[in-house]
Structure 1
Amino acid sequence: MTTGGSAATREAITTALTDRRPAFRDQGLQSGGPPLVLYTSAEAHRSVDKAAANLGIGLANVRHIPVDEAFRMRTDVLSAAITADRDAGLEPFCVVATAGTTTSGSIDPVDAIADVCAREGLWLHVDGAYGALFVLAESARAAFAPLVLADSIALDPHKMLFAPVEAGALLVKDKAKLRAAFAFPASYLTVAEDDLMVDFMDYGPQLSRGFKALKVWAALRTFGVDAFRGTAQRCLDLAAHLATRIDAEPGLELMNPVTLTAVCVRVRGRTDAEHRELLARLNADGTALLGPAVLHGRAGIRACIANHRTTLADIDLLADRLSGFANS
């Protein structure tokens, strides 16, 4: 368990660095060899850049791969970028794919990216902080099946499991690689070996840790997994309904394929300033708390259904307000 998806991604990249260069623990990025390069999508969360900067990789060594019309990472460009960097004497080491981008909810083609990583010998981390727990919903399960190919996955139970913050999680396929990155023996921390216990001080950066797992465990024990499956599916259905309402209104433009629960919309013929005004108005009158969106350089507004109390009436009220603004 981590403080959130940002911490999970940083810890995953730390593990990938240690796996690539075993001397990283002792000598850092000065351990020899050419500069390391990390690849991610142009739509990736800022936590990827932040981790690269904090770990000393440097933003100059992060490649933001362009996306297709559905805002998914283009694997052809990824492959070409890896080849170009190798030819330039650099060392590719990690790809961060996204299963549910923050703005559009798009899912990168993880299976095709995994093929590239296997061929090139790269670590594959998947940022599933927003999207991956939608695997609980029957309609979305197949979309997340390729995540089994990842070396590591970031999750956020404080999103689709509705746990109070902080409750993030990192899954790593090879436990030994995670331990190799974070285990530091000390005489004052000697702990007796116990097959029933995992000492998490050896599997992450923290020694003192809050009991973040308790709130997730308690909710699952209290409500059962089926309650979360049903809620995830209902959120997806509500997002699809909002997309249908927007498509039916000539004055509104749906900006993204609605894969998960992020719905981005632009009011035709309105300026960016007018979109900001609309956001403020919807928030001030209590209709909905929406956010800004920029996709392919075009600005709009973003709704994200991520509250188990949201109802169909709430969605229809929002759609009616958007339609009224478009026709005013």
Structure 2
Amino acid sequence: MSISSNQLSTTLSALINQSLQQFDINAKTLQQLSQQIDTLLLAGQRHRHANWAGHMTPAVNELAALGQLVAALHQGNLLSSELYPELAIVEKDIFDFFCPLFGQQHGHATHGGSYGNLDALWQARKKFGGYSNRVYASDQSHYSVFKACDILGLELQLIPTNNSQQMDIAALAFACNEQTPMAIVATAGTTSSGQIDDINAVKAIIEHSPCWLHIDAAWGGFLSLINTSPLTDKQFGQADSVCFDPHKSLGQPRPCGLLMYQQPIKAAASPTQYLTQTPRDTLPGSYGAELLLPLWLTIKTLGKTGLVDQIDFQLDQARKFAGFLNEQPGWQAEVSPTGIVCFNSPPQTDLSDLLEKGIFSLTELAGKKVYRAVFAGPSTRSDTLISDLAPYL
């Protein structure tokens, strides 16, 4: 699209202010509201800056923003899918696109990875809860796994990771030998450094056990789109369920999450006389266009090729940034397969002011603090980050 983000914000601000004038609001309140709205729109522009690399919050792309606007005007609810057949088609289009990429057969939209992890472990408990109450996940798993186990009354045991934050397979095998778990949560894209657990090795340990394998790919799931990915549909397909957050890497607004699984989810047992169809026994209740239309408009317009082009650019920028740092005396950087760069600066070099601006963030690797740059969207540029670091080199 030719319209810039600044133009879009200016146009939206004018439209909102014009609309507010139709309400019975005194002039002082109207002015205050207008100023607050302009401040919010301005603050949101930081995600479009070429040096925004501190967190997994890329700018929402224009296609998704348009889809979100349509969703707000639609307001359909797929709990009454017979009333919104066009929305049911949109949902089918999304999962026809993504399920094959993840080697899964079915799926539903969620409000994000935290909901996906909870829903997946709920399904796991219903299937294998009679055998065990234990869940294994790495010590780098997302905090939502802790919450999910707490909610479901499951016993979570953390498996140590190696220096690259990947689950220690020998430690997992030992734990499984001591007690077969109800479920294992493997991570495809750790939040701190973007590392990927060895899915093949995890699956081999539980190949013949009554155990559910869930892959938390909230961050790294975008790798399923690219042909050179370390994760393929065959690897993802070994799992009973996979969750993915397009809002973390594909420029989608929140809420936007996908949970995919091998077996269809049964209908709920609770009575729903007011509905024509009994809903599935999944975590989301009412849901509709708000979870679907932004992503649908994106994939229907860009297609796999367009998304891959964006992802390749993001990963290339991450590699260039890490490569540059490794050429500088006293600097050391490592880039993950998912485009997170963790780096050390020379002693006495303090990047606190860059942390405060959201340009970088801090995390921990092998017990040591390191700086972190997340290449979550195509607007983040290595040359701009290098310019910000120039005074410290």
Range of TM-score over shorter length? 0.7 to 0.9
Partner amino acid for 2:388?
R
CA contact (8 A) 1:276 1:292 kept: no
Q: Secondary structure at 1:188's aligned position in 2?
A: coil
The aligned runs of 1:137-148 (5 Å cut-off) are 137-140=226-229, 142=231, 145-148=234-237
Structure-1-length-normalised TM-score: 0.80
1:184 matched residue in structure 2: 269
Deviation at 1:221, TM superposition (A): 1.5
CA RMSD of aligned residues (A): 2.1
The residue type equivalent to 2:152 in the other structure is L
C-alpha deviation, 1:309, in angstroms:
2.3
Question: Unaligned 5+ residue runs, structure 2?
Answer: 1-108
- The answer for the alignment partner of 2:111 in structure 1 is 3
Matched, 1:44 2:152: no
* Among 19, 27, 36, the residue aligned to 2:127: 19
Aligned: 1:279 with 2:355: yes
Of structures 1 and 2, the larger Rg is shown by 2
Q: What is the deviation of 1:71?
A: 1.7
Aligned partner of 1:161 in structure 2 is 250
Within a 5 Å distance, the mapping from 1:204-223 to structure 2 comes to 204-211=282-289, 212-223=291-302
> Is 1:124–1:152's contact at 8 Å kept on the other side of the alignment?
yes
- Counterpart code for 1:279: L
Please say if 1:72 is aligned against 2:166. Answer: yes
Change (3 A) 1:76 1:12: same
* 2:259 counterpart residue number: 170
Q: Give structure 1 stretches of 5+ with no counterpart.
A: 23-32, 193-198
Query: Does the 8 Å CA contact 1:93/1:122 hold for their aligned counterparts?
Result: yes
The Cα offsets for residues 285-327 of structure 1, whole Å up to 9 and x where unpaired, read as xxx63221111111121111112223xxx312312433532x4
Counterpart contact for 1:275–1:300, Cα < 8 Å: no
Kindly provide the CA deviation profile for residues 193-228 of structure 1, in whole angstroms up to 9, marking residues without a partner as x: xxxxxx7x3141233223211211111122222111
| Distance change >3 Å, CA 43–CA 98, structure 1 → 2 | same
Does residue 297 of the first structure (1) align with residue 367 of the second (2)?
yes
Q: Which amino acid aligns with 1:261?
A: G
* Distance in 2 separating the partners of 1:298 and 1:184: 50
- What SS is found at the alignment partner of 1:120? coil
**Contact 2:249–2:376 at 8 Å: present in 1 too?**
yes
- For residues 102-145 of structure 1, give each alpha carbon's deviation from its aligned partner in whole angstroms, at most 9, with x where no partner exists: 11111100011011121333110000000011221232265664
* Matched-pair identity in %: 27
Q: Deviations over 1:260-299 (max 9, x none)?
A: 211011212138xx3444412xx1xxxx632211111111
Cα distance in 1, alignment partners of residues 231 and 176 from structure 2: 28
Partner of 1:122: 211
Does the 8 Å CA contact 1:38/1:93 hold for their aligned counterparts?
yes
The residue that corresponds to 2:337 in the other structure is: 259
Check conservation: 2:159, 2:167, Cα contact below 8 A: yes
Paired residues of 2:318 and 2:335 also in contact (CA < 8 A)? no
Instruction: Name the amino acid aligned to 1:231.
Output: Q
The alignment partner of 2:207 has SS state of helix
Deviation beyond 2 Å, 4+ runs, structure 1: 141-145, 189-192, 222-225, 274-278, 319-324
Residue deviations 1:59-115 (CA, integer Å, cap 9, x gap): xx312111123221111100101223x3xxxx5211000111111111100011011
More contact order relative to length (CA 8 Å, sep ≥ 6): 2
Letter of the 1:210 counterpart: G
1:106 aligned residue: 195
Q: CA deviation at 1:156?
A: 0.7
Q: What is the TM-score normalised by the length of structure 2?
A: 0.67
TM-fit CA distance, 1:258: 2.4
Distance 2:298 2:319 in 1: 27
Matching residue of 2:19: none
Q: How does 1:239-254 map to 2 (within 5 A)?
A: 239-254=318-333
1:37 is matched by which residue type in structure 2?
A: R
Q: Distance in 1 between matches of 2:244 and 2:111?
A: 11
CA distance in 1, matches of 2:346, 2:233: 34
2-structure distance, mates of 1:266, 1:101: 19
Q: Is the 8 A contact 1:105 1:258 kept in 2?
A: yes
Partner of 1:25: none
Cα pair distance change 1:108/1:262, threshold 3 Å: same
CA distance in 1 between counterparts of 2:295 and 2:230 reads: 21
